[in-house]
Amino acid sequence: MIKIGASILSADFGHLKEEIKRAEEAGVDFFHVDMMDGHFVPNISMGIGIAKHVKKLTDLPVDVHLMVENVDLFINEFEEMDYITFHIEAVRFPFRIINKIKNIGAKPIVALNPATPLDEIEYILDEVYAVLVMTVEPGFSGQKFIPVMTKKIRKLKSMIVENGYDTKIFVDGGINVETAPMAVKAGADVLIAASAIFGKEDVKTAVKNLRDSALKALNIKNPE
Amino acid sequence: MIKIGASILSADFGHLKEEIKRAEEAGVDFFHVDMMDGHFVPNISMGIGIAKHVKKLTDLPVDVHLMVENVDLFINEFEEMDYITFHIEAVRFPFRIINKIKNIGAKPIVALNPATPLDEIEYILDEVYAVLVMTVEPGFSGQKFIPVMTKKIRKLKSMIVENGYDTKIFVDGGINVETAPMAVKAGADVLIAASAIFGKEDVKTAVKNLRDSALKALNIKNPE
Amino acid sequence: MIKIGASILSADFGHLKEEIKRAEEAGVDFFHVDMMDGHFVPNISMGIGIAKHVKKLTDLPVDVHLMVENVDLFINEFEEMDYITFHIEAVRFPFRIINKIKNIGAKPIVALNPATPLDEIEYILDEVYAVLVMTVEPGFSGQKFIPVMTKKIRKLKSMIVENGYDTKIFVDGGINVETAPMAVKAGADVLIAASAIFGKEDVKTAVKNLRDSALKALNIKNPE
Amino acid sequence: MIKIGASILSADFGHLKEEIKRAEEAGVDFFHVDMMDGHFVPNISMGIGIAKHVKKLTDLPVDVHLMVENVDLFINEFEEMDYITFHIEAVRFPFRIINKIKNIGAKPIVALNPATPLDEIEYILDEVYAVLVMTVEPGFSGQKFIPVMTKKIRKLKSMIVENGYDTKIFVDGGINVETAPMAVKAGADVLIAASAIFGKEDVKTAVKNLRDSALKALNIKNPE
Amino acid sequence: MIKIGASILSADFGHLKEEIKRAEEAGVDFFHVDMMDGHFVPNISMGIGIAKHVKKLTDLPVDVHLMVENVDLFINEFEEMDYITFHIEAVRFPFRIINKIKNIGAKPIVALNPATPLDEIEYILDEVYAVLVMTVEPGFSGQKFIPVMTKKIRKLKSMIVENGYDTKIFVDGGINVETAPMAVKAGADVLIAASAIFGKEDVKTAVKNLRDSALKALNIKNPE
Amino acid sequence: MIKIGASILSADFGHLKEEIKRAEEAGVDFFHVDMMDGHFVPNISMGIGIAKHVKKLTDLPVDVHLMVENVDLFINEFEEMDYITFHIEAVRFPFRIINKIKNIGAKPIVALNPATPLDEIEYILDEVYAVLVMTVEPGFSGQKFIPVMTKKIRKLKSMIVENGYDTKIFVDGGINVETAPMAVKAGADVLIAASAIFGKEDVKTAVKNLRDSALKALNIKNPE
């Protein structure tokens, strides 16, 4: 089953509560909070306080995506979160980070920038809940899906299958009704979208279309 | 005339629009947006996107407080802002930063951490619109005003007066009805408060009390 | 056809104009400017201003080799350049850098230090004009070609061929009449040389010998 | 023949001379000094002066393990040492570091953190005396061996064999009578242990047990 | 009363327990542990583990001198210590560091490099137990006292007296029977010495001579 | 006697030898080489090799101005130089740097950015040959003299006089016939100019005019 995460990066911050309600009603499976530090990526978006607000405003799972260099500084702030996503490029000791995330009761996800080779995560692949394949270079919403990333997703899928692991594949960046089918056919299990959800007038239809495009690509009928 | 800036750091981010309206009606003079990068300070609060949302939600002036190391990365994003506050500890070439801020039409303000000596700003004192004296170490709301900062404010006031400059003094950190009188008696022109405004049930009364406490300390009758 | 780039790192800087003329007359195909920052490599050579001087002194193409950490700081300075070479070890977001270089109308080349594995460039290999395989560790002229680099060149060649890409292979470091044949047999398309050109009394013969050595290795007759 | 290095990280620093004697008598093959800088790893252990003291207190070889970022700063301090181990993650130019170590007459060893892929050392594998596979994330003694590291050791062994190199494999981290057999069966030539030696009442028996466990795994009779 | 701290930087690390006993019997008032990170200073000496060993080997107070950049990383490791000395050049938020040290029950001391101006500590002068005036640039034992530091000590003494504070003055670097009189006459309360104590055959006489030289300079009779 | 240094930053790099000859004939007193690293300042100009070329092309003294962060990396490369200028903002241990410069036989000069307070150099003022007061923020030629710097020069002059030191004052940045008089009246001994010399058609007249403007301001007749 394909799952959909709504990244609040494209939400209207004047009415965050309503935005979250609308996405919930549209049937998204979880919320994704992009936390940027202006160092790992050339932008600052939102931080600890807002992530905690989001968690209070919904009963759905929340995934905090740490696009930051000082990963270690933040994990213990996020005990209430469901997933904590860190970048392999930002950490020297991922086993420690993964254990720290598990210790607070969250599920660890490792993210890779588009150019980062998959062998960077070979030895931790069985330790994480999921791998987040960035399909754009992180930092901004509204960028275009990088086509060669489908090759990377396929390669990752086959690493997981060969080893008999049950690690999930998340994708994030430029996901919409055109690119979601490519991603899921390549092996993605979970789609994260920002502007394709919150950027739309009708959030409900937007989420439905996104899900349908993915299911159709897999020849699965939407059970909804 | 004492002015009051409302720092949205303590606002309810589920209903930012309403929070801003409430503060406007309570008579605050401008909004203050604390942008943190997890490097200059050990916290990330909010960034470019949210600052721009705030600006759209109000007609009052907006002051962006860059508690970040890469000051240069952000200035050109903020053409619509009224004040841009940077930290002297974060820049090697403040004259360039000041000119860059002036060039986009905003007013430059230089901030100092509590322990930073005033001579760090001696040669730029006439170039900035104001000096922001941090009265707590930045990074979190709800901290206690550091009493020795009144000595620093007095010293700064006298540097300004001696040189015949018209630079303003802003204070930020632990400002409430007990500390505002100390700050204004020492020479502060503008008070920035977060939890003393948004942390209160009745924002209107909170702002009024804050202003009254300051004016009373100066033996000025509130004209409102 | 093998091409030869003359790195001005070994030129006589008292008479740069004459040096460039001499190399042009000797038949080099382009000039290569090694820009070092004392951080990415433990040396500073020359910078923006001198690169621009070189461009004005010749009609041949100019290749700026950024041996620097702050790649992003310099690209927009080099609109007039023909190739801009950046190091994969210095950038987190190579897709952005490549697009930025293309946007100013130059051709992007990605360089790898000798120890850097080729999979670091797997996903960008089709986006760049060429890959520069460093055959010495960068920072100084006059170093010795590292023999195991021929294995790396062969591996790269086969990555390019297998994928059907048309990416070129440049080599730089210790290139002379002994090592040029090894490099081209392994798959190099373009040879960059500094001391093997400018370090010689007779630049014309030096360039001819270098080219002949390469062509002979490929069993090609020099058409000149 | 399996060799055993005693890491003094777990020694009693009140009586270092006696501790070293005891380990010598127990038959360890060399001493291993873990030098940490609080930057490459989140701990500081001991430095140049203590390493030199150790060297004076024994006739056995001494291996200095540089868990530091500024590798270059320290090599020339260690002319008397037998092995100098540096981390591939800490250096941009490993060929230079290797040559510098050889130039002072020591044997270079390259270390890899658990998550670091083996292709990071592909081109230097024939230049080093040995590869140190960290089987825990470095920084502290007393951590648990990471099981997937046996896969990495096997892969490394096969890289060495395929190329016909004679590079040795050292392992360090959580080595004891349970894990030593796993490490040597996977291909390790040298075992480094700290708490499994100095943490024991009877150092002699501890070393014997460790060696026996390894030899037994290889079906070799201990010639002692 | 002048107090004397023995810096173990010059001790014989083969027999640390005995060295400490000898210094205790010689009448030193406390031990000083120089912890270096190879970043704040160009040397690594010893770290957390050895500092803790020292504390266990003596009943005298122990002062840990953090010549490190990541001050924050280490404080919570040192609950058992008596004084924790940090460098003002290494911290952005000294009020936080001071509170953290007080919270674990230790006394905070702020150190200044020789070239650092005293106004860097103006606002924290009443918050610390003592100021450590470095009289050499830190990193190595056996360096020569910088004469102009007596001027700095006098200036600091007068800052303390004028404000009515009871902050102590420690000095460290090149302290011996020639320089101790200069330091105490300028206002130093506590002398730290390494080679002038542990570098001597007869530690008892060395400590006595050092103390006598200081007391004589102040025209005080040694009560011992 | 006012001295004039010609900064080759504005020279024509196609004909450096001729440019240097021309400046020599125009009567400049020494050459000034601006070495930038793209980190301390946002530009790279030229480095070690070109500085050495300049030294070979002239018998006049050469002053290397290190606008770099890694000061320590370069000093030993410059044994043949006459003055080595480092920035106080770039070093933590200026006494060591000064000694290192003296040890290779050069004269140490300390430079200050416009905003840097003079107390940063209080304790080294008697150790350096001169202080270079930057009258623009370094990084580019052709910038405008910052007027408040005359106040800084006066203050520095009075620090030198009060202490009875014989430290010289150099100024650099926007120096021309309008600003030279301001600088020398405030206390400058040596003027460094780039575009006011090499940017002019007639270098001889340009140097004469600059010198005359300065001497006239001091009511000294030009003895030439």
pLDDT tens digits, one per residue of C6-41: 999 999 999 999 999 999 999 999 999 999 999 999
Pairwise CB contact (< 8 Å): B44 & A35? yes
List B12, B29, B34, B72, catalytic entry: B34
Is the four-CA dihedral E48, E50, E55, E61 of positive or negative sign?
negative
Most B CBs within 10 A among E92, E100, E125, hence the mutation to make, goes to E92
Residues of C in contact with A111 (CB under 8 A): none
List C29, C72, C82, C172, catalytic entry: C172
How many whole angstroms separate alpha carbon F37 and alpha carbon D99? 27
pLDDT tens digits, one per residue of F17-33: 999 999 999 999 999 99
Q: Are D45 and D34 in contact (CB under 8 A)?
A: yes
Please write down the HEC assignment for all residues of chain A.
Answer: CCEEEEEHHHCCHHHHHHHHHHHHHCCCCEEEEEEECCCCCCCCCECHHHHHHHHHHCCCCEEEEEECCCHHHHHHHCCCCCEEEEEHHHCCCHHHHHHHHHHCCCEEEEEECCCCCHHHHHHHCCCCCEEEEECCCCCCCCCCCCCCHHHHHHHHHHHHHHHCCCCEEEEECCCCCCHHHHHHHHCCCEEEECHHHHCCCCHHHHHHHHHHHHHHHCCCCCCC
**Cα separation values, D188 from A195, D176, E109, Å:** 52, 14, 48
* Residue B220 binned pLDDT confidence (cut-offs 50, 70, 90): confident
- Domain assignments of chain D as residue spans, ordered by start: 3-217
**Contacts (Cβ under 8 Å, ≥6 apart) of C115:** C137, D88, D93, D94, D95, D120, D121, D123, D124
How close F148 gets to chain B, by Cα (Å)?
7
φ and ψ of E120, to 5 deg: -60, -20
Residues of B in contact with A57 (CB under 8 A): 14
Q: What is the mean pLDDT of residues A178-194?
A: 98
Most E CBs within 10 A among D7, D9, D13, D67, hence the mutation to make, goes to D13
Most D CBs within 10 A among A70, A92, A95, hence the mutation to make, goes to A92
User: And the tokens for E142?
Assistant: 């056996």
The secondary structure of chain E in percent helix, strand, coil, rounded to multiples of 5, reads 40, 20, 40
How many whole angstroms separate alpha carbon C110 and alpha carbon C119? 13
Residue D140 clears pLDDT 70, i.e. is over it:
yes
CATH number of this structure's domain A7-217: 3.20.20.70
Report long-range pairs for F76-83 (Cβ below 8 Å, ≥24 apart): F76/F100, F76/F104, F77/F48, F78/F48, F78/F51, F78/F104, F78/F106, F79/F104, F79/F105, F79/F106, F80/F52, F80/F55, F81/F51, F81/F55, F81/F106, F82/F30, F82/F106, F82/F107, F83/F30, F83/F107, F83/F108, F83/F109, F83/F129, F83/F130
List E12, E29, E34, E189, catalytic entry: E34
Closest-CA residue to C83 (of C41, C46, C111): C111
* Residue E1 binned pLDDT confidence (cut-offs 50, 70, 90): confident
Pairwise CB contact (< 8 Å): F148 & B123? yes
**Contacts (Cβ under 8 Å, ≥6 apart) of D70:** D37, E38, E39
Residue A48 clears pLDDT 70, i.e. is over it:
yes
Residues of E in contact with F123 (CB under 8 A): 114-115, 146, 148-149, 151-152
CB-CB neighbours of D208 under 10 Å: 16
For the annotated catalytic residues of A, the residue numbers are 34, 172
List D172, D189, D202, D212, catalytic entry: D172
Burial A195-214 (b: 16+ CB within 10 A, else e): bbbbebeebeebbbbbbbbb
How many whole angstroms separate alpha carbon A168 and alpha carbon A190? 8
**Chain C residue with minimum CA distance to D97:** C137
H helix runs in D71-120, sequence order:
71-74, 94-103
**Chain F residue with minimum CA distance to E116:** F120
Q: Do chains A and B touch (3 or more CB pairs under 8 A)?
A: yes
Enumerate chain D positions whose Cβ falls within 8 A of a Cβ in E. Answer: 9, 12-17, 35-39, 42-50, 53, 56-57, 68-70, 73-74
* E20 bridge partner residues: none
ipTM for the whole complex = 0.96
Q: Do chains D and A touch (3 or more CB pairs under 8 A)?
A: yes
Pairwise CB contact (< 8 Å): C119 & D121? no
User: And the tokens for D41?
Assistant: 């790893």
Most A CBs within 10 A among B8, B10, B12, B13, hence the mutation to make, goes to B13
Q: What is the mean pLDDT of residues C57-72?
A: 98
How many whole angstroms separate alpha carbon D54 and alpha carbon B143? 49
Pairwise CB contact (< 8 Å): F115 & B94? yes
Closest-CA residue to E116 (of B31, F79, F93): F93
Closest-CA residue to F52 (of A63, C218, C12): C12
Q: What is the mean pLDDT of residues C189-201?
A: 94
How close D124 gets to chain C, by Cα (Å)?
7
Q: Do chains C and F touch (3 or more CB pairs under 8 A)?
A: yes
Pairwise CB contact (< 8 Å): F38 & C39? yes
Most C CBs within 10 A among A36, A121, A148, hence the mutation to make, goes to A148
CATH superfamily of B3-217: Aldolase class I (3.20.20.70)
Pairwise CB contact (< 8 Å): A40 & C92? yes
Residues of E in contact with D74 (CB under 8 A): 38, 44
List E59, E72, E172, E189, catalytic entry: E172
The tens-digit pLDDT sequence of chain F (224 residues) is 899 999 999 999 999 999 999 999 999 999 999 999 999 999 999 999 999 999 999 999 999 999 999 999 999 999 999 999 999 999 999 999 999 999 999 999 999 999 999 999 999 999 999 999 999 999 998 999 999 999 999 999 999 999 999 999 999 999 999 999 999 999 999 999 999 999 888 999 999 999 999 999 998 765 55
Q: What is the mean pLDDT of residues B143-167?
A: 98
Closest-CA residue to A59 (of A88, A93, A23): A23
Q: Percent of chain C, pLDDT > 70?
A: 98
Q: So what's the pLDDT on residue C104?
A: 97
**Chain A residue with minimum CA distance to D148:** A123
Q: Are B64 and B85 in contact (CB under 8 A)?
A: yes
User: For residue B21, how many C-alpha atoms fall within 13 Å in the half-sphere facing its CB?
Assistant: 6
Residue D60 clears pLDDT 90, i.e. is over it:
yes
Pairwise CB contact (< 8 Å): D73 & E14? no
Residues of A in contact with B9 (CB under 8 A): 49
How many whole angstroms separate alpha carbon D177 and alpha carbon A89? 35
How close F94 gets to chain E, by Cα (Å)?
7
DSSP secondary structure code for residue D127 in this structure: T
Q: Do chains A and F touch (3 or more CB pairs under 8 A)?
A: no
pLDDT tens digits, one per residue of F32-45: 999 999 999 999 99
Pairwise CB contact (< 8 Å): A113 & C92? yes
Chains C and D form CB pairs within 8 A to the count of 30
| Helix (H) or strand (E) segment spanning residue D133 | strand D130-134
Q: So what's the pLDDT on residue A221?
A: 67
List C34, C37, C72, C82, catalytic entry: C34
* Residue D16 binned pLDDT confidence (cut-offs 50, 70, 90): very high
How close D105 gets to chain A, by Cα (Å)?
31
Q: So what's the pLDDT on residue B215?
A: 96
Residues of C in contact with D119 (CB under 8 A): 117, 119
Q: What is the mean pLDDT of residues E42-62?
A: 96
Pairwise CB contact (< 8 Å): D114 & A123? yes
**Which amino acid would we find at residue E97?**
I
